[in-house]
Amino acid sequence: MSGHRLRIVAGICSIAALVGAGGGYVAWAIAADERPAAIAPATAEPGTLVFLDHGRALSQVPVTDPGAAPVRRAPTCLRSYTAGGTTICLRTVAVPAGFEAAFLRGDKEIAEPVRVDGTPSRARVSPSGRLTAWTVFRTGDSYNPGAFATTTGIYDTRTGTLHGSLEDFAVLVDGKPYQREDRNFWGVTFAADDRTFYATMGSARRIWLLRGDLASRTLTAVGRDAECPSLSPDGTRLAYKKRVGTRWRLHVRDLGTGRETPLAEPAEIDDQAAWVDDATVAYARPDDGGRVSLFAVPADGTGAPRLLRRDASSPAVVQRPDQSHSQATP
């Protein structure tokens, strides 16, 4: 066989081997990832911790027994949140390649998924289960070369209204319109009235906490430096991450008194916290071994963080309906 022939045969054999190796690995990984038959009941009882497991499958356990064998549910998501029976699931789509937000009640999709413009970062649902919000990272947005931008959208699952991205809302800082092009918005949390929400705005290297009003499509600055707020079930406090030095630390602010309390979690937290109950917040961070896991810490600055669930992310704890008001709805 001539050298040229030999090279061609060697080439074809090598390519076949590589196709076999790569294809085989993927086939094996898909087979190993087989979803268990156990599917969770369509609704999660109050006191259920809903999260994404290591394989990013939506799962749930009782929050009082978070070490229990989880019930896995069908969808896989990059980021999810559940409240009022509604789950928002931010996930990938292959063609055309990108991401979308899916809206589920139980495991049924209740609306057409909405395409989102970037890598999912935060997800939230209003206490009633009606409003949903997401934040995504947009890379390759070169208003600021070398950096990245975020964009945040709100979707009403009852009316099917896409409230646009927050860039389209009117922003008021110190009572004056704020219109710089470099505004970025992230981390929505909803109040119980399905109209009021809080979010973070970054612009000109500064950070504002905004209170939003869906009806008037306005965002009003109500504070500084609070990122990815999370409203407590009773609606009186916000938990958020705040940059202290070079690290993000968890804090809680009382909306009535304005008093800010650092929580007893010494590690850096880059997550939107979820309230377990009115006294505790949960969040994801890498554990000592570097595996992203769920932790909980008291909301009043006392105590110490405890491990809630290993190898998990996107915490949400199902609350009792309409806890802050009288028992108007069963």
Partner 1 sequence: MYLSTTRAAGSPVAANGRLGAARVPATVVALGLVSFFTDISAEMVTAFLPMYLLYGLGTGLLNLGLLDGLYTGAGALLRLAGGHLADRSARPKAVAMAGYGLSAAGKLLFPLVGGSVAGIGAAVSVDRAGKGLRAAPRDALITAATPPHALGAAFGVHRALDTAGALLGPVTVFALVAAIGDAYDAVFVTSFCLAMIGVVILACFVRDRRVAPGTRPKVSLRDGRRLLARRPLRRVAAYATMLGLVTAGDAFLFVGVQRQTGLGAATLPLLPLATSLVFLLAAVPLGKLADRVGGWKVFVAGHALLAAAYALLAAAWQGPFAALGVLLLHGLFYAATDGVLMAHLAPRVPEHLRASGLAITQTGQALARAGGTIAFGALAASWDLRGAFAAFAALLVAGVLAAGAFPPDPRRAREASS
When the beta carbons of 278 and 287 are compared against partner 1, the nearer one is 287
Of 234, 285, 236, 293, nearest in space to 261 by CA: 236
Nearest distance from residue 299's CB to partner 1, in Å? 23
Positions in 113-152 near partner 1 (CB under 8 A): 114-121, 137-148, 151
Q: Would you count residue 56 as binding partner 1 (CB under 8 A)?
A: yes
Q: Would you count residue 178 as binding partner 1 (CB under 8 A)?
A: no
Distance CA 227, CA 185 (A): 10
Binding segment for partner 1 (CB under 8 A), chosen from 41-49, 89-97, 227-235, 319-327, is: 89-97
Pair type for strands 170-173 and 218-224: parallel
Strand (E) or helix (H) holding 286: strand 280-286
When the beta carbons of 246 and 329 are compared against partner 1, the nearer one is 246
Distance CA 122, CA 314 (A): 9
Name which position in 25, 69, 160, 161 contacts partner 1 (CB under 8 A). 25
Please name the residues in contact with 282: beta carbons below 8 A apart, sequence gap of 6 or more: 49, 273, 274, 275, 276, 294, 295, 296, 308, 315, 317
Name which position in 40, 50, 57, 171 contacts partner 1 (CB under 8 A). 57
When the beta carbons of 116 and 231 are compared against partner 1, the nearer one is 116
Distance CA 165, CA 79 (A): 18
When the beta carbons of 97 and 328 are compared against partner 1, the nearer one is 97
18 phi/psi in degrees, rounded to 5: -65, -40
Positions in 224-253 near partner 1 (CB under 8 A): none
What distances in angstroms separate CA 288 from CA 257, 267, 293, 323, one per listed residue? 36, 10, 10, 36
Task: Return the amino acid letter for 19.
Answer: V
Name which position in 1, 2, 37, 94 contacts partner 1 (CB under 8 A). 94
When the beta carbons of 137 and 218 are compared against partner 1, the nearer one is 137
- One character per residue 279-308, x = contact with partner 1 (rule: CB under 8 A): -----xxx---x-x----------------
Residue located via tokens 């109209």:
195
Nearest distance from residue 176's CB to partner 1, in Å? 19
Q: What strands lie across the sheet with 292-298, from one edge to the other?
A: 274-277, 280-286, 292-298, 306-309
How many residues of this chain bind partner 1 (CB under 8 A)? 66
Please name the residues in contact with 303: beta carbons below 8 A apart, sequence gap of 6 or more: 264, 297
Name which position in 38, 68, 74, 162 contacts partner 1 (CB under 8 A). 162
Nearest distance from residue 330's CB to partner 1, in Å? 36
Name which position in 54, 224, 243, 259 contacts partner 1 (CB under 8 A). 54
Nearest distance from residue 262's CB to partner 1, in Å? 20
At residue 297, the 3 state secondary structure works out as strand
Please name the residues in contact with 107: beta carbons below 8 A apart, sequence gap of 6 or more: 39, 40, 42, 73, 74, 75
Binding segment for partner 1 (CB under 8 A), chosen from 21-29, 189-197, 205-213, 298-306, is: 21-29
CB atoms within 10 A of CB 54: 13
Binding segment for partner 1 (CB under 8 A), chosen from 102-110, 111-119, 193-201, 222-230, is: 111-119
Burial (CB count within 10 angstroms: exposed 0-12, middle 13-18, buried 19+), residue 326: exposed
When the beta carbons of 191 and 207 are compared against partner 1, the nearer one is 207
Q: Where along the sequence are the contacts to partner 1 (CB under 8 A)?
A: 7-8, 10-12, 14-15, 18-19, 21-22, 25-26, 29-30, 33, 53-57, 76, 78-79, 91-98, 114-121, 137-148, 151, 153, 162, 164-165, 181-182, 270, 284-286, 290, 292, 313
